[in-house]
Chain A
Amino acid sequence: MSYKPDQNDWMAYLYGELEGAEKEKMEQYLLSDANARKELEQFQYLRKMMGAVEDKEVIAPPIVLGDNKQRFIWNTPAVRIISSIAASLLIIMLVGKFTDTQISMSGNEFKISFGEPKKIEATQSVTSTPLLSAEEVQNMINQSLNQNNIAMQTSWKETQQKLDASVRSNLASNSNKIDRLVKEASSASQDQIRQFVSTLQNENTEVVKNYFQLTASEQKKYIENLLVDFAKYLQQQRSDDLQLVQTQLKAIEQNTDIFKQETEQILSSIITTVNAAEVKETKY
């Protein structure tokens, strides 16, 4: 009874985690002590009973991992509003930069302008003009007008002269050409007409001659042909008539032959009948 296990030994033994010498000691102690055995039994029964507690069935839901936490920060309304304001400000700034927008406040004026304000140059020119007086300006204008007029007139005159010259030269050349043409035409016409007429006459006479010659020969040929044809026709006609007469004669001959035969037959038949009648009569 020197060994008495403590709680730790009990638990280790109960769950099979006691090993080696300590396990042996525990087993010997249990063998020697009935109360200890009973205690162990109680523990074991309790364990058995606790084992009746069943596991609950459960299906693991999908585990959504942490990225959505960051997304959550981005999706918070405050962040969204701030970022949208920042974005719109940026857009306004960019648009301002590109269109060169300038906004100014002076006195009662509020100005929005695109690009460099050009007013400053205008005012400068306005301030510089008063240095010249009205007369001077008038003089300058007159001077420039005069110069302009002179230049215009000179150029006008020059062009006029040029035009005249060209018109004259054109006219001269044209009239010369026309005259030459007319002269040529008039001088050439009489001889040409005569020639033309004579050639025409010659040609006509030749044509008429040829015509008559041609027609005369052709008429001869034609008449000859005609006469030959007529002769042939007459011969044909005669032979045809002859043939006709011959055939008619033959036909008449045949008819007479037939007639002869018929008469002979009739005669013979009469003879026979007469003979037969005579024989009969004699019989009676």
Chain B
Amino acid sequence: MAETLLDIAMMHSDTLIARAKQGDQNAQGKLVQLWYKRIYNFSYKFFMDHDLAMEVSQKTFISMCRSLAGLQDIARFKSWLYKIAVNYCREEARKKKGSRSLSFDVVWNREAEDSPQWESSSQRYANPESQYQQAELSDILQQALYELSDEQREVVIMKEYEGLKFREIAEVLNISENTVKSRMYYGLDGLKKILERKNITKDTIGYEL
């Protein structure tokens, strides 16, 4: 995964965090701008739902701004932030549990309605067809991810897409590192099986990956 300017900024935001911690609203605002996309995408992959992802993101950052003063180690800001996000995700998931079937409907409808995201996809692919297929594959993979259990899903997202270290994930989830690794293993294994079931293998989409 190529490092963008945003990633670099996120890696070197210690002074920003320190200022935000002291109550500098400007710094807090910048911190929100910096991390909003990550938290949103984490929540989106967790729920496959824009509204829920937005809600969780907003709650996460409101909570962040309020309780940033209580953060003891600036170096642990990342895992601290994801911890807040994971907690809100679990809270929303609990609320949703009663109407799980409905949520599936929503998911299916979304998949049917979602047009490929021309605007958002980067211009790496010159070929529009492969771009389209990329977008389609993205949706299928996201769907596969969604079929994992919550525990596995959050670990896989944090590891695979958010780039947290196993130690950091363990910190976020308050579990041992080995448990994280084992959940990751079963998560990947589960994904493999789901994709096989969906007939998405090396042979069917061998190209361009």
Chain B positions within 8 Å of A50 at CB level: 141, 145, 156, 160, 191
Residue of A7, A46, A55 with most partner-chain B CB within 10 A: A55
Q: Pick the contact of A43 from B36, B188, B195 — CB < 8 Å? A: B188
Q: Chain A, 37-64, contact with B by CB distance < 8 Å: what is the 0/1 string?
A: 0000011011111111111111011011
**Quick check: A8 and B182 within 8 Å, CB to CB?**
yes
Task: Tell me the complex Cα distance, A8–B177, Å.
Answer: 9
Interface residues of A in 170-220 (CB under 8 A from B): none
Task: Tell me the complex Cα distance, A43–B184, Å.
Answer: 12
Asked if A65 CB lies within 8 Å of chain B CBs, one says: yes
**Quick check: A51 and B120 within 8 Å, CB to CB?**
no
CB distance from B156 to the nearest CB of A (A): 8
Residue of A nearest to B45 (CB): A53
Chain A positions within 8 Å of B28 at CB level: 63
Asked if B13 CB lies within 8 Å of chain A CBs, one says: no
Q: Chain B, 170-192, contact with A by CB distance < 8 Å: what is the 0/1 string?
A: 00000001100110111010011
Chain B positions within 8 Å of A15 at CB level: 159, 166
Chain B positions within 8 Å of A7 at CB level: 181-182, 185-186
Asked if B22 CB lies within 8 Å of chain A CBs, one says: no
Asked if B9 CB lies within 8 Å of chain A CBs, one says: no
Chain A positions within 8 Å of B192 at CB level: 42, 46
**Quick check: B117 and A56 within 8 Å, CB to CB?**
yes
**Quick check: B65 and A63 within 8 Å, CB to CB?**
yes
Asked if A117 CB lies within 8 Å of chain B CBs, one says: no
Residue of A nearest to B177 (CB): A8
Q: Chain B, 19-63, contact with A by CB distance < 8 Å: what is the 0/1 string?
A: 000000100110011001100110011000010001001100110
**Quick check: B181 and A53 within 8 Å, CB to CB?**
no
**Quick check: B120 and A65 within 8 Å, CB to CB?**
no
CB distance from A11 to the nearest CB of B (A): 4
Task: Compute the total of residue contacts between A and B using a CB distance below 8 Å.
Answer: 106
Task: Tell me the complex Cα distance, A11–B183, Å.
Answer: 10
**Quick check: A52 and B134 within 8 Å, CB to CB?**
yes
**Quick check: A47 and B160 within 8 Å, CB to CB?**
yes
**Quick check: B185 and A10 within 8 Å, CB to CB?**
yes
**Quick check: A64 and B62 within 8 Å, CB to CB?**
yes
**Quick check: B121 and A54 within 8 Å, CB to CB?**
yes
Asked if B5 CB lies within 8 Å of chain A CBs, one says: no
**Quick check: B141 and A52 within 8 Å, CB to CB?**
yes
Known: A53-B145, A64-B62, A66-B62. A58 touches B185 (CB 8 A): no
Task: Tell me the complex Cα distance, A48–B182, Å.
Answer: 20
Asked if A17 CB lies within 8 Å of chain B CBs, one says: yes
Asked if A276 CB lies within 8 Å of chain B CBs, one says: no
Residue of A nearest to B33 (CB): A60
Q: Pick the contact of B40 from A11, A47, A53, A58 — CB < 8 Å? A: A58
CB distance from B23 to the nearest CB of A (A): 11
Chain B positions within 8 Å of A66 at CB level: 62, 65-66
Asked if A145 CB lies within 8 Å of chain B CBs, one says: no
Q: Chain A, 259-271, contact with B by CB distance < 8 Å: what is the 0/1 string?
A: 0000000000000
Asked if B161 CB lies within 8 Å of chain A CBs, one says: yes
**Quick check: A52 and B138 within 8 Å, CB to CB?**
yes
Asked if A12 CB lies within 8 Å of chain B CBs, one says: yes
Residue of B nearest to A65 (CB): B65
Asked if B103 CB lies within 8 Å of chain A CBs, one says: no
Which 4 A-B residue pairs are closest in the complex by CB-CB distance?
A: A60-B36, A7-B185, A8-B181, A11-B181
Given contacts A50-B191, A55-B161, 13 further A-B contacts (CB under 8 A): A8-B181, A8-B185, A11-B182, A11-B188, A17-B165, A46-B188, A52-B138, A52-B209, A53-B138, A54-B138, A56-B41, A65-B65, A66-B66
Query: Interface of B with A (CB < 8 Å)?
Result: 1, 25, 28-29, 32-33, 36-37, 40-41, 44-45, 50, 54, 57-58, 61-62, 65-66, 117, 119-122, 134-135, 137-138, 141-142, 145, 156, 159-161, 165-166, 177-178, 181-182, 184-186, 188, 191-192, 195, 200, 202, 205, 209
Q: What are 10 A-B pairs with beta-carbon distances under 8 A?
A: A47-B160, A47-B188, A48-B209, A49-B205, A50-B191, A52-B134, A56-B50, A57-B120, A60-B57, A63-B28
